[in-house]
Structure 1
């Protein structure tokens, strides 16, 4: 097995006030900078937001792309100011840890392959084929089941090499929950989690590690967040969705899957967007969630974290679109800002006021 490389994206975020980009006159800014860690799914957008936002510098924020599991562990250990995860925590877990979570952006997980002669968007797969490949039941690219799903496409007589995540991963959580939803055998024999015992394959750390292994290994297949597939030029596959339609991954197909998301009635903002109905829906769609403590010891620092995400809600949609993520609808952003004002406190007082936000 290759040695997974550590995935870390350090970025400087320069935080401004909600309304004008300047620190509020009535309160002192946080000092010492801010730290966040977690989701590699989120890392490309975090880096892009940092690049755009640093022109209004006042406070630096370092974000480490270590995987959702790592982000959850670090925020629970209070070694970072916020965590980022693609696996939403349950209400029970949130309450037990004193945490609050909110969605920041949505995107898609896609299968990527390194098969000679197969370009991006040419290979068609479905959930059952994916489950059979990742269980090791389909061992060669010229398997009859793959040929039947891809008439007219030349598939080589080449062994299949599975590449999966080696770390605790929200991307894995989304991918395996999708496989469990469409394959009873996968559900009973393998299960769905952010970390599990894989039946076969090589393990890479982070979306970066999986992308690297796939690019280096002829005959391989893995799964990554779509921005990584685009960034690396990986050959992504199409999927058959809930309605039986073959769709390509795109911001439009992710948005179609997210169209019916009912955030108002999602306790703890725990919501998955997998295998959603709709002719244009991408079946492996999910949100990135930010984790912060409900009761904050440092009011200025807590406000600075929320100010940054308030800025991202207001100014970050263009960058989200460029990287093939889906911004939250305006009404969902307003709902989250109202939750910040009511649920995040320091010394019993709110640290964010929704009326001051855009």
Structure 2
């Protein structure tokens, strides 16, 4: 489960503008728009009609250059979709008393990020593998429910039931007051979407973020699923985002720098003209839900190296436009500022002497 790194604690985090196209009314390929009297015939001031003709020519040139740039990047124009609207949120679902709860349950205060680096012995690794495997199975099941007309609330109920049937606790439920057992982030929602009564539509994409708390350990994973017939551009966004996760994991091993992850992810995303969201980060995970190390998915100078036995998440979010976000009044739902689609993938990994073991596989 991604979380927003506090700028007070992490001053090196800056708002990204990757992928954001400047307004055509004020710039053209990065240069200011200017004109002089020589742009028109004679020495007299241009008439209103002449200005309109000049503006149309300039607008046409800008549009041609925009199309050329998009073709070079392999960008396909999206069909405009209605903006995401919040539906009705149903009450929290109950959890049987015999199921072990994380320590934050019962308080609506968002826990601070633990400074503890979670490095496990053999017993801890066994527990992390069990939690990761369950989270992966739940996520795969949730993906089978994605189809037009299904509500995200229905997905939440099914996920909740599967988790408690396995004797585990749905980690998001009650975390800082979060009201549901899973995050469901549709289209322009970057992350932390709250399941509600909205029905999925043909052509939607949806990230489902599952975290389970099993025998005192969290397993955390997410995936973006396609709903019905999805546009080629959005399919490409989803594909490249998953590839970015895979490339980030591939560099991990004992002694490797953490910032190598963001370097590799950014390089791949930029090849396709996609932006990497900086605000939301990966994190240490284990007995504690969110801890050090903070995993940045963009190019950075964050110090530190990986240690054998350590567990953390990598969970890049990519967008087709602005990487800036706005947050709904619920203080959770984060949307792209310009309404462009976003996709995310996540795994919990274990650092080994030679590489990384993905724990959230079934």
TM-score band (shorter)? under 0.3
- Give the structure with the higher percent helix: 1
TM-score (norm 1): 0.24
Q: Which has the larger radius of gyration?
A: 2
